Amino acid sequence: MRTTLFLLLAASALAQTPRPGVNYDEAKVGNDPLPDLKLTTADDWTQKRRPEILKLFEDHVYGKTPADIGTPKFEVTATKTDALGGLATRKFIHISLPNHPAWAGMDVMLYTPNAVKAAPCIVGFSFGGNHAVSTETDVPLSTRWMRESKDKNIVDHRATEATRGTESSRWPLEMILKRGFAVATAYYGDIEPDNANGWKEGLRAAVSKDGANTVWKDGEWGAIGAWSWGLSRIADYLQTDPLIDGKHLAVFGHSRLGKTSLWAGVQDERFGIVISNDSGEGGAALMRRDFGETTAIITKAFPHWFTPNYSSYAGNAAACPVDMHMLIALAAPRPIYIASAAEDHWADQTGEFLSGKFASPVYALFGKRGIVVDAPPAIDTPVGDFIGYHNRTGKHDVTDYDWTQYLNFAARHWAK
Ligand code: GTR
């Protein structure tokens, strides 16, 4: 399949405050052909091609998740049956690895709707911790390292009381719970602090035989791999909770955590729906398109997110044996949703749309429709069947509009 990277769009639609050296001109995105999906049959895809492509993503992009680093232990540390004014039951669950005590573990906050016996569940990490997701003031304040931010009231790399509820607009708990879905979330920094040396204090050092002296080799996991592992451990716990329908789990994430939800979702097929919100470069956006953030920019700013040799594709994405339509295709035939935001040119909305579009032939092998329209839809116009896509009005963020589409998508695919 030879596909073209650029669309003939009105250049005026792409106006953006330029960052020096960053391309926002659709005419200059390049036209390197995408790697061939080499499609034959659904069986061939499942048995041969899918494992090959998954391995390419391990070897060249995210690194391989170690197969067995021990059995997680789950401790329910608190339960409140009348959370959010009686709408929900709220639990905290501490997940640890008894054979790797150097990892401090993670604290999951689970809200389940009291009106539903065993609820489908959305699983995702937050940037600011459980106390930032919830507006309930009895949620314990995270004590973990956080990225410094005056705006967000993070002081000396720690959360303060003023950070309570600051991520709640991105997690409309009441809206989600009222639609009958549970929410399971944790702070991504519980797995590994998000900085170049964060791994030394996180899971990756704790489970590696050389600990904080590990020299990461090509093909070994980076932070996105470690965070993805964490999402799968939440899925492990959810299989054990009678308030959850463990067969209906969706994995969700925004931005770098959208890259994470994609990588978690393609690896762990218990996630029946995969949702990527504004995941951009290193996520849903095609890496061969030079538009907004590029492989060169991301591997310079955040090398710790990826396996070391991903940096070798800086300025040379065409040499990478995969592109992101192949990542989306790894979810097939499970439903997957990709969302962009109209002002988020940094994430390359058209590149995000095209990865869904070019993954669609894999869904067709399974008799399922992905994205059948040729060009990105108008703003605020969701398209797609098993691959959903929209480009929402506004900036890089998660809004009620995004959630409405995700919940509609999940409700449609999970209608009994
Ligand atoms: C940016 C990065 C993006 C995206 C974003 C975020 O700085 O360039 O790839 O991940 O951070 O996670 O908010």
Q: Of ligand 1's atoms, which has the minimum distance to the CA of residue 255? A: 12
Q: 144 and 28, same structural domain? A: no
User: What are the residue ranges in the chain where pLDDT is below 70?
Assistant: 1-18, 416
Q: 135 and 224, same structural domain? A: yes
Q: What is the pLDDT of residue 62?
A: 99
Please indicate, yes or no, if residue 81 is contained in any of the structural domains: yes
Q: How far is the CA of 112 from the centre of ligand 1 (A)?
A: 30
Q: What is the pLDDT of residue 416?
A: 59
Q: How far is the CA of 301 from the centre of ligand 1 (A)?
A: 9
**Which residues neighbour 323 within 8 Å (Cβ) at sequence distance 6 or greater?**
34, 35, 286, 287, 288, 317, 355
Q: What is the pLDDT of residue 13?
A: 43
Quote the crossing angle between the two packed helices 50-57 and 256-267, to the nearest 10°.
Answer: 140
Residue of 126, 170, 224, 255 best suited for mutating to test ligand 1, as the one with most atoms within 8 Å of CB: 255
Q: 170 and 37, same structural domain? A: no
Please indicate, yes or no, if residue 82 is contained in any of the structural domains: yes
Query: Domain range spanning residue 24?
Result: 1-63+279-396
Q: How far is the CA of 259 from the centre of ligand 1 (A)?
A: 10
Please check whether residue 90 is in contact with residue 83, taking contact to mean a CB–CB distance below 8 angstroms.
Answer: yes
Active site residues: 255, 396
Q: Between the CA of residue 26 and those of 6, 13, 18, what are the distances in Å?
A: 7, 10, 13
Q: Of ligand 1's atoms, which has the minimum distance to the CA of residue 281? A: 9
Give the residue ranges of DSSP H helices in 134-200: 173-178
Q: 227 and 86, same structural domain? A: yes
Please indicate, yes or no, if residue 97 is contained in any of the structural domains: yes
Q: 109 and 28, same structural domain? A: no
Q: What is the pLDDT of residue 20?
A: 81
Q: What is the pLDDT of residue 10?
A: 37
What amino acid is encoded at 22 in this protein?
V
Please indicate, yes or no, if residue 270 is contained in any of the structural domains: yes
Residue of 125, 257, 293 best suited for mutating to test ligand 1, as the one with most atoms within 8 Å of CB: 293
Q: Among 275, 310, 333, identify where a domain stops.
A: 275
Please indicate, yes or no, if residue 406 is contained in any of the structural domains: no
* Pocket, ligand 1, Cβ cutoff 6 A: 255-256, 280-281, 293, 298
Q: How far is the CA of 323 from the centre of ligand 1 (A)?
A: 19
Q: 70 and 31, same structural domain? A: no
Q: Between the CA of residue 389 and those of 99, 169, 344, 407, what are the distances in Å?
A: 42, 21, 15, 13
Q: 94 and 236, same structural domain? A: yes
Q: Rounded to whole angstroms, how far apart are CA atoms 332 and 322?
A: 16
Q: 338 and 325, same structural domain? A: yes
- Give the tens place of pLDDT for each residue, 20-77: 889 999 999 999 999 999 999 999 999 999 999 999 999 999 999 998 899 999 999 9
Q: What is the pLDDT of residue 9?
A: 44
Q: 246 and 310, same structural domain? A: no
Q: 241 and 123, same structural domain? A: yes
Q: Among 260, 275, 290, identify where a domain stops.
A: 275
Q: What is the pLDDT of residue 240?
A: 98
Q: Of ligand 1's atoms, which has the minimum distance to the CA of residue 254? A: 12
What amino acid is encoded at 110 in this protein?
L
Q: Among 219, 242, 275, identify where a domain stops.
A: 275
Please indicate, yes or no, if residue 407 is contained in any of the structural domains: no
Between vectors from CA 237 to CA 236 and to CA 243, what angle results, nearest 5°?
A: 125
CATH of the domain at 209: 3.40.50
Indicate the number of domains in the chain: 2
Q: 312 and 258, same structural domain? A: no
Q: What is the pLDDT of residue 296?
A: 97
Q: 86 and 225, same structural domain? A: yes
Q: How far is the CA of 337 from the centre of ligand 1 (A)?
A: 19
Question: pTM score, two decimals?
Answer: 0.96
Q: How far is the CA of 192 from the centre of ligand 1 (A)?
A: 17
Please indicate, yes or no, if residue 243 is contained in any of the structural domains: yes
Q: Rounded to whole angstroms, how far apart are CA atoms 252 and 249?
A: 10
3-state class (DSSP) for residue 32: coil
